[in-house]
Amino acid sequence: MRLIKFIKANDWMVFFGLTISLTLHSARANEADYPSKPISIIVAYAPGGQGDAFARIISDRLGQIYKQSVVVDNRPGVSGVVGTRLAAKAKNDGYTLFLGQTGEIVVNRVMMKDMGFDPVKDFIPVVLIGNAPLVLLVSSDSPLTSVNELVELAKSKPGRLSFGSVGAGTPGHLAATALSLGIKSEMVHVPYKGVGPLMADLMSQRLDFFFSSASAAMPQVKGGKLKALAVSTPHRMNSLPQLPTLAETVFPGFNYSLWGGLFAPSGTPKNVIQSLNKEINQILALPEIKAQMDRDSLAVPSNTPQEFTNYIATESVKFEKLVTDAKLKLDN
């Protein structure tokens, strides 16, 4: 079993190498001619989430660089499967790209029996754009004032506390599941189709808590509609330095985040991949973009397609263990 898991977690590196070799035999676009028409970036969730934010950080400036429109195409549904499937089946000419995140790239393939595609075989990692901490939120009217109080309540009343997510297998779901396993207390998962209705129920206390992306959390926290109790990464957020981490309070070693990066369908010419990687790394290094990313604790180092592939393989090990330990399944 250990050998099987090792091979599975490293599928990304094996298949990425094979895919790059195959692209040498595919029809190549001349880099000077790419792009010669608009580019679409598919996001597998509705507007307002972190994946949408990652795509829009790069889309306008990439369009300016390429002198072509770069359109964000939101295709939500089934924990990201609808949009991911559409992107996986797209023509591999560099004009349909995919903003992939933790859930749809790493987790769904473990939780689902048959998605109609394989993110390992059907995509090439282009560049990691950002890595977002998750913020544990409760209603501003909630009597809970700290994550310690939330944990104490969960332990005293197993099965009472409810948490929301934008779908099974998404980072918010998995972070709450990891917390539930870690404190050995059952909690109720309530999935939603989008962040908007989830936030409405959280504000009205129909939900007890939610692990939100920073981009969706900050406006509500600053507006006084929600309270932030803790952050999911080992380091505190730059924009909320007073907010403690779960690792330093109730759960040593707790580290779950929401990363997002650009992917292209397998067989996309190598020179197109290299062009996208170079331009997006340069966009992320722009002072105003870097300041924005640092403020929200999203920034990641400049990275190559191979480095992004290696990062995905490492994340796969962590999330495959969590899915197995929690016995999570999602039949599509």
Q: Residue 332 pLDDT > 70, yes or no?
A: no
- The model's pTM is 0.80
The residue ranges of DSSP E strands in the chain, in sequence order, are 39-43, 70-74, 96-101, 123-139, 162-165, 188-191, 209-213, 226-231, 257-265
The token pair at 29 is: 């676009």
| Mean pLDDT within 109-120 | 86
pLDDT for 3 beyond 60: no
Contacts of 221 (CB under 8 A, 6+ apart): 135, 137, 227, 228, 240
Task: Please give the residue that has the higher pLDDT: either 113 or 129.
Answer: 129
Give 45-100 pLDDT, tens digit per residue: 888 778 899 999 999 999 999 999 999 999 998 888 999 999 999 999 999 999 99
Cβ atoms of 194 and 76 closer than 8 Å: yes
pLDDT at 111: 86
**C-alpha to C-alpha distance for 106 and 119, rounded to whole angstroms:** 8
Q: Which domains does the chain have, with CATH numbers?
A: 2-131+258-326 (3.40.190.150), 133-249 (3.40.190.10)
Task: Using pLDDT thresholds of 50, 70 and 90, give the confidence band for residue 295.
Answer: confident
* Cβ atoms 305, 262 nearer than 8 A: no
Task: Summarize pLDDT for 10-38 with one digit per residue, the tens.
Answer: 565 555 555 544 444 444 445 568 999 99
CA distance 154 to 162: 10
pLDDT of residue 166: 83
DSSP, res 31:
G
Dihedral (CA of 213, 219, 220, 224) sign = positive
